Amino acid sequence: MAVPHGSSGGSEGSSNSGLPKRQRGRKAKQPGVFEVRVITPPPRSLGVYELPPLTHNGEEVVIDGEGYVVQRLVLNYKLRGGKYYRDHNALEVTPTGRFFTELMLDNLMKARYLGPTGPQD
């Protein structure tokens, strides 16, 4: 289960109102801390959460009691002083129900149609 970054795991939800003012706009830089974004229309951010550091594509994560499937892991780096430093971690997710619906529709599109055989009138 995902824990909002900067909290003790209570039922604060995804709002950053419980965080100190200077941490509200901060980026997720440490390993295991991710900004979670839903990519289905309309795209929205769920907030910054602590998840297992090896979370990657195809994994299911539970955030605020709802299941999401990770579509993409985004790691941004910046060059400072001749070295690259991690600047931001983000997970782009879709709701579990939508993921399976899209998977089913994709399989239907790829399926080969075997229509009726023989002469058609």
Domain ranges of the chain: 3-110
How far is CA 36 from each of CA 104, 117, 119, rounded to the nearest angstrom?
Answer: 25, 50, 55
Give the pLDDT of residue 9: 45
Question: Which tokens hold the place of 111?
Answer: 């399926």
pTM over 0.85: no
Tell me the backbone φ, ψ of residue 11, rounded to 5 degrees: -95, 50
Q: Beta strands 60-63 and 66-80: pairing type? A: antiparallel
Q: What tens digit of pLDDT does each residue of 75-121 get? A: 999 999 999 998 899 999 999 999 999 999 999 888 877 777 767 76
Nearest partner of 34 among 15, 55, 17, judged by Cα: 55
Q: What tens digit of pLDDT does each residue of 63-75 get? A: 999 999 999 999 9
**Predicted confidence (pLDDT) at residue 41 exceeds the cutoff of 80:** yes
Nearest partner of 47 among 35, 60, 38, judged by Cα: 35
Give the pLDDT of residue 86: 87
% pLDDT > 90, the chain: 52
Select the more confidently predicted residue: 4 or 37. 37
